[in-house]
Amino acid sequence: MCLSFRKLSVLLSVPMALAGCVTGSGMSDAPQPLTLALSHSADRELTAEYRLREAVTALHFLQHLGGYRAEVWKPIDSAFRWVKEGDGERVERTDGRPFQNVTFTIFIDYRALPKSYAPFSPFSQGGALVHSGQFQACTAAPCAKPGPLPISIDAPGEIVGVEGRRTQDRDRFVSTDDGTNIFIGTLEPVNADGFVAIIDPGLPVAARQRLDLSLPRAIQDLAAIYGPLSFKPELYVSIDEEPEEGGRISTQGGTLPRQIFMHFDGENAKERVGADKPFWLDWFFAHEAAHLFQQDKSGKLVGEDRVAWMHEGGADAMAALTMVRRGAAERDYALNRKREAEAACAAGLATTPLSRASAEAKFDLHYQCGLIMWLALDQDLRTAGKDGLADLNRALFAEVRSGKPWSESQFFQLAGELGVSSSLMTAVKTLAGGNSRDAIDALDVAGKLAERSLEPE
């Protein structure tokens, strides 16, 4: 995944068709341990009511989110409080008594969160994306992985978009894994070339025109290599010029299954969209489209944070290689991105091994170092007569689809079988898990090959 513009990422969903009734995929009439009712009760307010089949003394959430919930999720009953719990948090009654429901009123606003998607991406003319993953919870600690959460959504006078459906006033579904984006609002989707889009009318015209070109081209370029996607992805682009808490400005994008999203937030948001040349938008959409192909062709969500260099660096390398084929200006941009990434990787590895980057809140190293590692592998394999990164990706996707893990060990095994040279294999393994001193030398080896990968053929 890609997060804030410091860490870009995207969501994908199936095309939405207007539905006349509430259906809800995966919903069951059997009693559920925990359910959630969301109500869009006011212009920028959501009511969230958790209902439990059996009484508990606390409801547990996987991530603490920097205190965001305690600040913004206001319990209607003042007898409840938020308590930090390791890396997560819980809500409980102040008297410790068990409960079977708890209700919050939540202000709908964008909030940049550490290593996590924002719960809301507001649109300038009303409506919002709601990330269901931030609402998933556990009925007992430790909350290592929240279970499926049945969610009902009530939005009178609006359209609810979820799981490829568009229903009037209400819908319901089951949120699982990393969750999905729920659209609540009145904007109608537009069928574009290769995707379905809901784009904020507040976005500058030039930016809208760029979007019309960037995403379809990225999807077409990657489909020519890996075959077409098995679905038509959804694109959400929103903009909100009201600054978030503390006056911060942010640009966030990401991918979830079958969805790509992008949000511009804060003062001068419109100016930031069109700043400089538009190549950063092209790179962003190529990166996010790459995540779609990773997920679709491997048949699952991929990667853990600890080895994010595989999927994030891999997506950046796929973006770089699609751009260098488009022209000299795009190639220059990709080369500059590569050189900046190599310098940032070297600076980061001087103090933190890549294997510790996520744990030490240096997630960007997975993008920066991963880009260099993948481009070096591309060049090394092409020198050996292979189809470079494309061959390695195809082999990895096929193995994961067959049931093998998306893991470093599986990746290195496939790279060796395809003929990656022993010298580069040693360098890449050192970058992935070696100590900082050895990794700097390995980066020099990989960086030279990566530079050649982006040169004109």
Query: Could you count the other beta carbons within 10 Å of the beta carbon of residue 63?
Result: 17
Closest CA to 414 of 426, 434, 397: 397
Cβ burial of 126 (10 Å; 0-12, 13-18, 19+) is: middle
Taking residues 336-354, report their average pLDDT: 94
pTM given for the model: 0.83
Coil/strand/helix, residue 319: helix
Residue 405 token pair: 């893990």
Cβ burial of 351 (10 Å; 0-12, 13-18, 19+) is: exposed
pLDDT in tens, 394-420: 999 999 999 999 999 999 999 999 999
Q: Name the band, by pLDDT with cuts 50, 70 and 90, for residue 7.
A: very low
Q: What are phi and psi of 381, to 5 degrees?
A: -70, -35
Cβ burial of 77 (10 Å; 0-12, 13-18, 19+) is: exposed
Q: Name the band, by pLDDT with cuts 50, 70 and 90, for residue 10.
A: very low
pLDDT in tens, 280-336: 888 988 999 999 999 999 987 777 778 899 999 999 999 999 999 999 999 999 999
Residue 253 token pair: 């994008």
Residue 175 token pair: 């949120």
Q: How far apart (Å, rounded) are the C-alpha atoms in residues 274 and 290?
A: 23
Task: For 157-222, give the DSSP string.
Answer: EEEEEETTEEEEEEEEEEE-TT--EEEEESPPPEE-SSSEEEE-TTS-HHHHHHHHHHHHHHHHHH
Taking residues 416-429, report their average pLDDT: 95
Peptide bond into 142 cis (omega under 30): yes
Q: Name the band, by pLDDT with cuts 50, 70 and 90, for residue 361.
A: confident
pLDDT above 70 as % of the chain = 87
Taking residues 420-430, report their average pLDDT: 95
pLDDT at 126 over 70: yes
Q: What are phi and psi of 351, to 5 degrees?
A: -125, -20
Q: Name the band, by pLDDT with cuts 50, 70 and 90, for residue 358.
A: confident
Residue 160 token pair: 């609810």
Query: Could you count the other beta carbons within 10 Å of the beta carbon of residue 425?
Result: 15
Give the model's pLDDT for residue 275. 62
